[in-house]
Amino acid sequence: MPANYSSYIVSVSRSKPRVLLEDLGMTGYQEAWDYQMLRHRELIDSKRAARDDQDYRPRHRLLLCEHPPVYTLGRSGKLDHLLLTEDELTAQGMTFHKINRGGDITYHGPGQLVVYPILDLEDYYRDVHRYVRELEEVVIRVARDYDVRGTRIEDYTGVWVEGAFRQKICAIGVHLSRWVSLHGLALNVDPDLSHFDHIIPCGIQEDDKAVSSLAALSRLDITMSDVKEKLVRHFAEVFDCDVIAE
């Protein structure tokens, strides 16, 4: 059963969209996907049923979790960007899923905060590009809290840190159906970065680009619980919403 953490609650008002927060903890990828789909379908169905209800307010959700080690391949990805055979995946305790988000291949695992917003964007704006940029902005603000200067790179979705190498700390991939969002972002807090060696992350092969994490780039102490609280606060700021426990 998903857990709610009242310590993450930001504020409550009558005018802003309300987003119900759920922290799923360490959750298998398929289990989290099934739960996303359940909540996604509920939101679409309730929107259809309330088409003429002037008082209808969408039940947006923000799901937080970590996954056991898994590689996922988006719609536009190439299977040969996975550098392990099926037997090697099994031997290393990895799983692999083809999914319907945008983007190429990425890794999820312990020490990485995965965030799945299930939002009816018609309650915000009909603009997928803006939605992705605002997800990036949330992570840029979290990174700033740890004295890490996150930024965007033209033509590359996600959040990066400039230096001798451009280091990616957050991957983003989304899918929308009837303007209701699925998938989201994966922020590297302190994962085992060696697992990225078994893929071509996001299909990016340039020598000046690499994968990193907040823990590797910050001199400050970082805990997953603290990152979660900061991310929820900045999500509420950027999306101008109230994040509440159900």
Q: Is the pLDDT of residue 4 over 50?
A: no
Q: Mean pLDDT throughout 228-237? A: 97
User: How far, in Å, CA of 68 to CA of 28, rounded?
Assistant: 6
Q: Which residue is catalytic, options 65, 170, 202, 241?
A: 202
- 88-125 pLDDT per residue, tens: 888 888 888 888 877 788 899 999 999 999 999 999 99
Would residue 5 count as lying in a domain? no
Which amino acid is residue 17, in one-letter code?
Answer: P
Number of domains in the chain: 1
User: How far, in Å, CA of 2 to CA of 99, rounded?
Assistant: 22
Q: Which domain holds residue 187?
A: 19-45+58-245
Would residue 171 count as lying in a domain? yes
With b for 16 or more beta-carbon neighbours within 10 A and e for fewer, the 20-41 pattern comes to bbbbbeebebeebbebbeebbe
Which has more pLDDT, 81 or 59?
59
Six token digits for residue 86: 């099926």
Give me the CATH number covering residue 93.
Answer: 3.30.930.10
Give residue 55's pLDDT band: very low, low, confident or very high (50, 70, 90).
Answer: confident
- 127-155 pLDDT per residue, tens: 999 999 999 999 999 999 999 999 999 88
Would residue 218 count as lying in a domain? yes
Would residue 53 count as lying in a domain? no
Would residue 177 count as lying in a domain? yes
Give residue 2's pLDDT band: very low, low, confident or very high (50, 70, 90).
Answer: very low
CB 224 within 8 A of CB 113: yes
Q: Is the pLDDT of residue 1 over 70?
A: no
Q: Is the pLDDT of residue 10 over 70?
A: no
Identity of the highest mean pLDDT range in 170-179, 209-218, 229-238: 229-238
Would residue 65 count as lying in a domain? yes
Would residue 237 count as lying in a domain? yes
Q: Identify the pLDDT of residue 53.
A: 73
Would residue 211 count as lying in a domain? yes
The answer to whether residue 241 is catalytic is no
Q: In the predicted model, what is the mean pLDDT of the chain?
A: 88
Q: Which of 19, 71, 143 is CA-nearest to residue 9?
A: 19
Q: Is the pLDDT of residue 3 over 50?
A: no
Give residue 14's pLDDT band: very low, low, confident or very high (50, 70, 90).
Answer: low
